[in-house]
Structure formats: C-alpha cells, structure tokens
Amino acid sequence: MELWISGGAWITSEGYGTLSEEREINIGEGEPVIPEAKELFDEPLQRYGRFDSFTRLGCAATALALRDADMAEKQRKDDTTGMIISSDYEILNTDIDYYETTLDAEGAFSSPNLFSYTLPVIVLGECAVYYGLTGPTFCVGDDALYGLKALESAAAMIAAGKAQRMIVGWLESPPERSKGIEGEMRPSGAVFIVLDAIPAKILFSKRKLSYGNNVFKNHKNQKITSLMDVFARENER
C-alpha cells in the first residue's frame, strides 16, 4: 500500500516548524512554544486562548500541518478526512484540574467546562468542528512510540476506504511538576502529518510511504518507527 505525506508540522520547546521547511526536530525539556492564534487561523477558533495545553497544542499542530499541505482553507468542506492522534498521558493535566473543582462542597460546584475537556478526543472534536472533518476520529495510546500506532491506525482507515485523508499526530502534554506527580516525565510536544491516499498536490516521490507487513518504509526503503522518523528521514540529504 502506498500513502502520501502532503504536509506536516511540529511544536516543541525549541519552537515550531513544518515538513516543508526541512528543519530538524529537537524535543527537549520544557514547555512547547505554541504559536498565537493569529499565526494559525484565518477565522477565529473560539476559546483557543483558553484551551488547556493539550488541546491548544493539538489544534495548533493541526493548523500548521494543514497549512503546510495547502489545505487549511480547502479542507473546510471536505467530507473525507479523519484524524487520529497518539498520546500516553492523554489529558491528565485537565483531569487533575477538573478533580480539584470537585473537592469543595462534596462536588456540588464541579466545573462542567473543565469536565468537558477531560477526554483526549475533545481536541479532535475542536479540529473537526473548525475544519469540517467528518472522517474517523479517535485517540490511541502507543507506549512512547511517538505516533507510530496513530500512523498504523490511519493507514488502516485509508486501506478500508473509510477516509481519503488522515491527519495523524503524536501529542503529549504531561502533568506539570507543580501538580506533584512523581516519576520521570516524557517530553511535551506535537508532531503531526497529513496522510493522503492519493497525492492532493504535486509531490516529490520522497513524500511517499509504503506500508506492508505492519512496517512503514520511506522512499529510500528505510523503516519508519515514529512520526519523528518521517521528518528526520525526509530531511536526510
């Protein structure tokens, strides 16, 4: 099976960039540098500035990836696009914040707004509403494989004919240290690509992925083991 990468984007503590820019991704310690709304959206995305870090990071990476694929506007009425992201911490920060609101008066003043955001699929819902995505949308966990399971699942949706295009992402926003969670935390950031069944624009062959026997390979026949690899291998000269 052949798939095409129409665009991609990343956001880390060192900044943000796109696949077309062919810059190396470095996922370091610290909070990701999330772009302002005016850099991402032609029409306002309601509540973007008030989103939790997970949702804001996911919406920003989606916007950058779609723009890199020249689809930010064209996408809006498209009926064939889905979105799958992988995350192991999911939306734990918001879970903790929400639960704090339940502790007074035995839960009588729990926050309905925060509770609504205690599912990782909410970021998919926000993107679906904004971009008109009506294809398959779900989140996966993948044991720190940086999006590989999301990529496999997206390929499965395309192979089944349930979508022509999938936005695929790795998205993590681990609990803040101030929340007192112990143990080693994985880095925070987002790496997203736009995966197409057929190339949506003229693409060089190096934007092609092959998938067979549960293995992804790039145009150089190199094995892809994460979404980071898609960018790293792409940038190899």
Partner 1 sequence: MKDVFITDMAAISSIGNSLEEMLPPLYRGDTAVDNITRFSTEKLEYHKGACISGLDSNDDDNRISELTKRLMAHIKSPPERTYLVWTGIKGDVEFIESRAEGKAKTDLYLAGHYRKLVAKTLGIEDSGMEINAACASSTMGLALAAQLISSGSHSSVLVCGADIVSRFSFTGFSALRGLSATVCRPFDKERDGLVLGDGAAALLLTDEETTKKEGYKPQARLSGWGIANDANHITGPARDARGLIKAIRSAMDQAGLSASDVEAFCAHGTGTVFNDAMELTAVESIFGSRKFPLFSIKGAIGHTLGAAGAIESALSIKAMKKKEVPPTTGFINHEERTEGRVSSRPQNFPGKNILTTNSGFGGCNAALIFENL
On whether the CB atoms of residues 152 and 214 are closer than 8 A, the answer is yes
On whether the CB atoms of residues 38 and 60 are closer than 8 A, the answer is no
The reply on whether position 232 binds partner 1 by CB under 8 A is no
The tokens for 89 are 């911490």
The reply on whether position 119 binds partner 1 by CB under 8 A is yes
User: Minimum distance from CB of 54 to partner 1 (Å)?
Assistant: 12
Phi-psi region of 6 (alpha: psi -120 to 50; beta: other; left: phi over 0): alpha
Nearer of residues 114 and 203 to partner 1, judged by Cβ: 114
Nearer of residues 134 and 235 to partner 1, judged by Cβ: 134
Instruction: Please give the full DSSP string across 49-68, using - where no structure is assigned.
Output: GGS-HHHHHHHHHHHHHHHH
The reply on whether position 178 binds partner 1 by CB under 8 A is no
The reply on whether position 214 binds partner 1 by CB under 8 A is yes
Nearer of residues 162 and 201 to partner 1, judged by Cβ: 162
Q: Report in angstroms the alpha-carbon separations of 107 from 52, 100, 104, 110, 112.
A: 21, 9, 6, 5, 11
Q: Which stretch binds partner 1 (CB under 8 A): 13-21, 28-36, 65-73, 138-146?
A: 138-146
The reply on whether position 53 binds partner 1 by CB under 8 A is no
Binding residue for partner 1, selected from 157, 171, 200, 227, defined by CB under 8 A: 157
The reply on whether position 149 binds partner 1 by CB under 8 A is yes
- For residues 77-93, b (16+ Cβ closer than 10 Å) or e, as one string? ebeebbbbbbbbbbbbb
Q: Which stretch binds partner 1 (CB under 8 A): 7-15, 176-184, 193-201, 220-228?
A: 176-184
On whether the CB atoms of residues 94 and 139 are closer than 8 A, the answer is no
Any idea how long the chain is?
Answer: 237
User: Minimum distance from CB of 20 to partner 1 (Å)?
Assistant: 27
**Nearest CA among 108, 75, 113, 79 for reference residue 94:** 113
Which are the contacts of 17, defined by CB distance < 8 A and separation ≥ 6? 9, 10, 23, 25
Nearer of residues 110 and 210 to partner 1, judged by Cβ: 110
Tell me how many residues contact partner 1 (CB under 8 A): 59
Binding residue for partner 1, selected from 25, 64, 122, 227, defined by CB under 8 A: 122
User: Using CB under 8 A as the criterion, which residues of the chain lie in contact with partner 1 when the complex forms?
Assistant: 82-83, 87-90, 92, 95-96, 98-100, 102-103, 105-108, 110-112, 115-116, 118-122, 124-126, 128-129, 131-143, 149, 153, 156-157, 159-160, 162, 175, 180-183, 214
